[in-house]
Chain A
Amino acid sequence: MAHTHKSNWELIKNGMFSENTIFRMAISLCPSIAVTNSLKNGFFMGVSVIFVQTMVNLTVSLIRNFINPKIRIPIFMMVIAGYVSLIDMSMAAFARPVYKQIGLYIQLIVAFASIFARAEVFAVKNKIIPSVADGLGMGIGFFLAMIIISFFRELLGKGALWGFPIVSGNPLLIMILPAGGFFAVGLLMGFFNWLDAKLAERKAAQETTG
């Protein structure tokens, strides 16, 4: 994917849908289950990833001409770890209650395959603006996945959204238990596969008739 010719908007859309980190590439799965038991946690996780991914892509793209390819892996790791420390400390200072629940997973953004992969396959070969667009797209894709999963889990598991009760009655407690996270992601993945197959079918049908 050297020197991309796609427009910036296409790059963002690419990250959001066709190469969605969670549902399509199936990498960086740990937080998709660990922090999605409430919408708020999912939101903060998503925002942190958008920030880290965009800034890492920006930085790597800026210094791409000075990196010796042999030592690129440690350099990428340091860049990522720097931004993660930054967000880790700001969150510890400004969003204490959320940090107590998801702090460990924020620190573990360092080990995200998706962030490293974008630096490796995209930012190191492209100019600054497309790299930022790519980082934004990937980050937003991850953010959307977090929001969708945590929306369903909190609604079904607690009958609430963002901490406010919405539905009365007995919630499905299992959805906020660890096991429920696996079920939610599995079912959503299956649903998106089904949707994909349906859309492809319709497209094929249109092409043959029209």
Chain B
Amino acid sequence: MDFNKLFQLIVAASLINNFVFTRFLGLCIFFGVSKKMETAVGMSITFTAVMVISSALSWVVFKYIMVPLDITFLKIIVFIGIIAAFVQSADTIMKKMSPSLYYKLGIYLALITTNCIILAVPLINSGEGYSFLESMAFGVGSGLGFALALVIMASIREKLELADIPAPFRGLPISFIIAGLIALAFTGFSGLITL
């Protein structure tokens, strides 16, 4: 087992190819829940968990059901189905098993189905032909990268509440410009590892 490769995948997915800042996915949620640190942290935890499990599930389905049946052209439909079903069942199970956890994280779970990163990870995994562990590593790295982006953004936006911003730029426009500046900083990571 090549742990070096796995570690490289995690670093690459979280820093160099950070989903928010270099691939621009999951922006709706990124701008939606980054107003407060507390929600950002809750979202990050839920997100990483769902990401890892759904990339594992869809890898198994892709490899052992779709490839033998030669129906890989249906991957968009199948993956979105897997994710929606998984999120829905996680929602139901959490409500029964641990109402306190559900009360804290349930709202994020509902939001996650409409997040494009969750769908993009299985699509990229199958496109690149990653092995099972590689897919998991890619899922973990993407989740961590998203968490990092959310936490950075939330900590800046909490300070931003006190700043004197020109009226037309209040709210979303200034957040976009800040995201641009962070993205500029993240370009510094490019070339850190070549896979």
Q: A167: CB under 8 A from chain B? A: no
How far does the alpha carbon of A110 sit from the alpha carbon of B175 in the complex, in Å? Answer: 26
Q: B21: CB under 8 A from chain A? A: yes
How far does the alpha carbon of A82 sit from the alpha carbon of B74 in the complex, in Å? Answer: 9
The count of chain B contact residues (Cβ–Cβ below 8 Å) is: 43
The count of chain A contact residues (Cβ–Cβ below 8 Å) is: 43
Q: Is the CB of B24 within 8 A of A178?
A: yes
CB distance from A189 to the nearest CB of B (A): 4
Q: B41: CB under 8 A from chain A? A: no
Q: Is the CB of A30 within 8 A of B116?
A: yes
A29, A174, A189 interface centre (most CB from chain B within 10 Å): A29
Chain B interface SS verdict (over half): helix
How far does the alpha carbon of A165 sit from the alpha carbon of B28 in the complex, in Å? Answer: 34
Chain A interface SS verdict (over half): helix
How far does the alpha carbon of A34 sit from the alpha carbon of B116 in the complex, in Å? Answer: 12
Q: B148: CB under 8 A from chain A? A: no
Measuring CB to CB, which residues of chain B are less than 8 angstroms from any residue of chain A? Answer: 21-28, 31, 73-74, 76-77, 80-81, 84, 113-116, 118-120, 123-124, 127, 166-169, 172-177, 179-181, 183-184, 186-187
Q: Chain B residues near A67 (CB, 8 Å)?
A: none
How far does the alpha carbon of A182 sit from the alpha carbon of B187 in the complex, in Å? Answer: 14
Q: Chain A residues near B76 (CB, 8 Å)?
A: 81, 84-85, 88, 107, 110
Q: Is the CB of B168 within 8 A of A73?
A: no
Q: Is the CB of B28 within 8 A of A30?
A: yes
Chain A: CB-nearest residue to B179? A182
